[in-house]
Structures are given as structure tokens and as C-alpha cells.
């Protein structure tokens, strides 16, 4: 005889430990917040026991990744084992050529994994277009969540050891901890080994009041960006425009692009905020990953503010390796273009991502040429007069939005249709009707951009208020934010955009 209540508990427990591809475990879900609260209670017990703490965090991190990618969590374990052993070999090798071949092996293994899972069908599609449809059959290949992030992170470890900038770890569990640490595992930021590894065996774990308050502030900020702004404008406006652009006027298409610019910023920076905040609650510090990128007055400044951990990774491990700016002006421009083309390909296996990277690479090269030809031109625009800075922000933002159009559209046909509507069917007379019909969406878009463009001092004041608030008030703030998320969401929690990369 079975009891309904018992069956219900059993079903919930099974769901807790079962992988569901349609429901990954993400920071903005109620399940994660519940599990993380329990995780923190046990974590605090191990604050003076480094080995037990390391094993406990690894176990939770692998569970977290299993809930996102199923059995492919073993791929993460393999990457950790492979580069741990190769790194030790690089460090112990007596000859330079041996070190070189070992680092090449590390890069080949990592890029081989990334290439198979992410680019096999892309290459098959290109082959079929060249040699006829049916030349090769498409493969049913699952793309493990966040594989691009942990592959890049792992490669930076072996390359740093090859360059003599880092000594290898002696304990494999420490490296598995570094590579699998759940706050930044599936969508960054890409944390460098030399910044993170010294924090692993801190004893005891120290979480100051400032760290705790800052962590709470960042988690609340991230929830607001992701679950209130990004998800709402995506489901209620942006997705509709990009799905059927011909059903909407040019003004609506333009607002759809501007809306997506805000959506992807709030989605990705919201994840980064929560990742950095969660890490702070555990006693770890991550580098800043976004710095109000739409305030940028030049494209160079944009890439110093947007996805900072990726842009610095591409600079240090790709651009500089290609020669950087050391081989003359023409070679510098070529290196910039190639770096961004590969950066675009890193984001996705499609021509539109390559074009997105090419647009940014060309814009960076042209800006560098402008600085070389025009005396007094600045890389970041920080020294500009207010009027030239405002003009630079407007120009840079629209160049970036043209890139976002290619980034978001499902095909280049969608890009063409959107541009056609904007330039051939703008229909300005419909603007009042559109704004009224989507009042809540436009209000959120306006609020999002206003908050984004506020002086950084305003954000600092808000952070200080939360940091110095009593614990009871911090808990009430968290409860209020969760209540707001529950009230505004119109469907299931949406996965983070960068999970697909």
C-alpha cells in the first residue's frame, strides 16, 4: 500500500536528483535559492576545514553542472584531469620544445572538445553547401552548457604555466575546485588561475560584513536585471519582433533592437553580478565583468567595459600571441580583426556570429587608425568635451546595436528584413500608438537605460546602503525582490542567454 503524501515526496526527491534538459538549475530559480540556502548552512561548518570544504564544494558544483548538462559533467572532470597532468608535465619538462608540444597538446585537447560539440554541424553545413546537400549527415550532438567558458579557463592555466607566470597545483582536487566552482562555471566570468587559486585553501574562510553586504547587493541587482527587466522585455516585446519582423513597423523593429541591447546586457551582467555576489558569500573574490558598457564613447572603450573577462582573455592569449601591436600598423589592424572574428566564432557556430565579430574587429581597427591620424584622439573618450563624448556614445551605441542585430537574429534574412523595415517602413505616425500599447515594456526599457547611465557614484551609494543595513533589513530586501520577481514574471524562468555559449 502506498500513501499519496509519500509518493509526492518521493517524486520531488527524484526530480531533485534527475537531469531535465528543459529545466536547468539557474541562479534566478526558486529551486537554486532554496538549495543555496541549505548549501550555505553546511558550508559554514567547514570554514576551518579546507579539505572537507573543497570536497563539499566540488560535489555541489558537479551536481549543479549535472542539473544543467546531465552526464556531460564528466567532460568537465576529464578537462580538469587532462590539463592538471599536462600542466605538471610542462613545469617539469627540461627542454623548451617539450614544453611547447605539451602546451600545444593542451590547446588541441581543449579546442578539440569545443570544436566537436560546438562546430561539427556548422562544418557539415558548410561542406553540404560546397559539395551538395546530403554530402554529409548532420549529427545529433548535445552542446554542454558553458563549455566555452571552462575550456578557455582551463587553457589559460596551462598557457600561464608554459609562460612561467604560474606554478602548477600539486593536488588535483584543488584544480577540479578551480575549474568547477559553480558560481562562474556555466557563464563566467572567466576567472584566471593566478587570481583564484591562492584563495582556495584560505583557512579559515573569511566573509567580512562588507563582503556579505556587497554579495547581497550584487545578488539583488542581478535578480532585478535578469528576472524583472531582461525576461519581461524579452517575452513581451523583443522575441515577438525578431520572430516576425514583417508584422511590425520600422519603429518597432528599431525599438526591438534597442530592447535587445538592454536585454542582453541585463541578462549577462545580471548573471555576472549574481556569480560575483554568491562567490563573495563563500569568501571568494571575482574580478568585475561589466562596467556600464553603453556609457562608452568609443568602440575601444566599449570592449574595456563589456564582458571584461573575455575581452582581456582574448587580448592576453590570442591578440598578443598573434603579435599584438608589435609588428607594425597593418599587422596590428589584422590582428585586431582576426581576434574579433575568432571571438565571434567563439560565441556561436553561425555566419552571423562571425560577421558580428568582424564588425567589432573592423570598428576597433578603424578607431586605432583614427587615433594614429588625429592628434589628441583618445582610446576611451574619457578626456573628450561633454558634447563630443555624447556624440561618441550615440555613435558607439548604434554600432554596437547593429552588431546585436546580427547576434540575435536567427538568420541573415531576419537581419535584412529588420533593416528593410527600419529604412523603408519606419511609420513614425504609429509611435504614440506603439508606446501606449507596450506601456509597461517601454517603461522598463526607459528605466533600464536611465539606471545604466546614472553616474557610478549613485550605484556606490546604493551599495553602501545595502552593505551597512542590519541583517534583518537585508533579509527583507531579499524577500521583497523575490516577491517582485514572482509578481512580474509571466512564464517559467528563462535560461540565461550565455548558457548557449
The residues annotated as belonging to the active site are: 347
Instruction: List helix spans (H) across 227-317.
Output: 231-233, 239-243, 250-281, 299-305, 308-314
Q: Answer yes or no: are the C-beta atoms of 149 and 307 closer than 8 Å.
A: no
> How far is the C-alpha of 346 from the C-alpha of 395, rounded, in Å?
26
Torsion of CA 23, 24, 28, 30, to 10 degrees: 60
- Determine how many CB atoms are found less than 10 A away from the CB of residue 328: 10
Burial of 360 (0-12, 13-18, 19+ CB in 10 A): buried
Contacts of 348 (CB under 8 A, 6+ apart): 500, 501
> How far is the C-alpha of 211 from the C-alpha of 65, rounded, in Å?
26
Contacts of 333 (CB under 8 A, 6+ apart): 365, 368, 369
> What is the end-to-end Cα distance of the chain in Å, rounded?
48
Question: Which cell goes with 327?
Answer: 609588428
Q: Answer yes or no: are the C-beta atoms of 249 and 421 closer than 8 Å.
A: yes
Q: Give, as one character, the DSSP assignment of residue 371.
A: H
For residue 377, CA distances in Å to 29, 304, 315, 388, 397 come to: 46, 17, 22, 11, 19
Question: Which cell goes with 173?
Answer: 582536487
The 3-state DSSP class for residue 198 equals: helix
Q: Give, as one character, the DSSP assignment of residue 256.
A: H
Backbone angles phi, psi at 369, to 5 degrees: -65, -40
The 3-state DSSP class for residue 115 equals: helix
Taking CA 375 as the corner, what is the angle to CA 370 and CA 376, rounded to the nearest 5 degrees?
95
> How far is the C-alpha of 187 from the C-alpha of 495, rounded, in Å?
11
Of the candidates 278, 253, 216, 238, which has an alpha carbon nearest to the alpha carbon of residue 477?
Answer: 216
- Determine how many CB atoms are found less than 10 A away from the CB of residue 484: 14
Question: Which cell goes with 300?
Answer: 575601444
Question: Which cell goes with 423?
Answer: 529604412
Of the candidates 391, 297, 410, which has an alpha carbon nearest to the alpha carbon of residue 352?
Answer: 410
Amino acid at each position: 500500500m502506498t500513501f499519496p503524501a509519500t509518493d509526492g515526496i518521493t517524486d520531488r526527491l527524484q526530480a531533485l536528483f534527475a537531469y531535465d534538459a528543459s529545466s536547468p538549475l539557474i541562479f534566478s530559480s526558486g529551486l537554486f535559492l532554496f538549495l543555496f540556502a541549505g548549501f550555505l548552512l553546511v558550508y559554514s561548518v567547514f570554514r576551518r576545514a579546507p579539505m572537507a570544504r573543497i570536497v563539499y564544494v566540488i560535489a555541489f558544483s558537479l551536481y549543479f553542472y549535472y542539473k544543467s548538462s546531465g552526464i556531460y559533467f564528466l567532460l568537465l572532470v576529464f578537462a580538469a584531469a587532462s590539463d592538471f597532468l599536462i600542466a605538471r608535465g610542462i613545469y617539469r619538462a627540461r627542454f623548451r620544445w617539450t614544453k611547447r608540444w605539451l602546451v600545444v597538446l593542451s590547446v588541441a585537447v581543449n579546442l578539440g572538445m569545443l570544436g566537436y560539440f560546438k562546430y561539427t554541424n556548422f562544418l557539415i553545413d558548410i561542406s553540404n553547401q560546397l559539395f551538395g546537400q546530403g554530402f554529409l549527415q548532420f549529427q545529433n550532438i548535445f552542446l554542454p552548457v558553458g563549455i566555452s567558458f571552462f575550456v578557455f579557463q582551463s587553457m589559460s592555466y596551462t598557457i600561464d604555466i608554459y609562460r612561467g607566470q604560474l606554478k602548477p597545483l600539486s593536488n588535483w582536487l584543488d584544480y577540479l575546485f578551480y575549474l568547477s566552482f559553480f558560481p562562474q562555471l556555466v557563464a563566467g566570468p572567466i576567472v584566471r588561475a593566478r587570481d583564484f587559486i591562492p584563495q582556495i585553501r584560505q583557512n579559515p574562510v573569511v566573509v567580512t560584513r562588507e563582503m556579505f553586504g556587497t554579495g547581497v547587493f550584487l545578488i539583488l541587482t542581478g535578480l532585478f536585471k535578469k528576472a524583472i527587466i531582461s525576461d519581461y522585455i524579452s517575452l513581451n516585446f523583443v522575441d515577438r519582433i525578431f520572430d516576425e519582423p514583417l508584422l511590425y513597423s520600422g519603429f518597432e523593429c528599431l525599438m526591438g533592437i534597442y530592447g535587445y541591447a538592454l536585454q542582453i546586457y541585463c541578462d549577462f551582467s545580471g548573471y555576472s553580478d549574481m556569480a560575483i555576489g554568491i562567490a563573495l558569500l563563500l569568501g571568494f573574490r571575482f574580478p568585475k565583468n561589466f562596467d556600464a558598457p553603453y556609457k562608452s564613447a568609443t568602440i575601444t572603450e566599449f570592449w574595456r567595459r563589456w564582458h571584461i573577462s573575455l575581452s582581456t582573455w582574448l587580448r592576453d592569449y590570442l591578440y598578443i600571441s598573434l603579435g599584438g601591436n608589435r609588428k607594425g600598423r597593418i599587422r596590428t589592424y589584422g590582428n585586431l580583426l582576426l581576434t574579433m572574428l575568432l571571438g565571434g566564432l567563439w560565441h556561436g557556430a553561425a555566419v552571423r556570429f562571425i560577421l558580428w565579430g568582424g564588425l567589432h574587429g573592423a570598428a576597433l581597427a578603424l578607431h586605432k587608425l583614427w587615433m594614429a591620424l588625429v592628434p589628441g584622439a583618445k582610446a576611451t573618450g574619457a578626456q573628450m568635451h561633454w558634447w563630443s563624448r555624447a556624440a561618441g556614445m550615440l555613435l558607439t551605441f548604434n554600432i554596437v546595436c547593429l552588431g546585436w542585430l546580427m547576434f540575435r537574429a536567427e538568420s541573415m534574412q531576419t537581419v535584412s528584413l529588420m533593416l528593410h523595415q527600419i529604412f523603408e517602413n519606419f511609420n513614425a505616425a504609429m509611435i504614440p500608438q506603439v508606446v501606449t500599447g507596450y506601456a509597461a515594456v517601454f517603461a522598463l526599457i526607459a528605466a533600464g537605460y536611465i539606471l545604466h547611465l546614472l553616474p557610478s557614484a549613485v550605484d556606490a551609494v546604493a551599495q553602501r546602503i545595502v552593505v551597512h543595513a542590519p541583517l534583518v533589513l537585508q533579509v527583507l530586501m531579499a524577500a521583497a525582490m523575490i516577491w517582485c520577481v514572482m509578481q512580474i514574471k509571466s512564464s517559467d524562468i528563462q535560461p540565461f542567454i550565455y548558457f548557449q555559449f
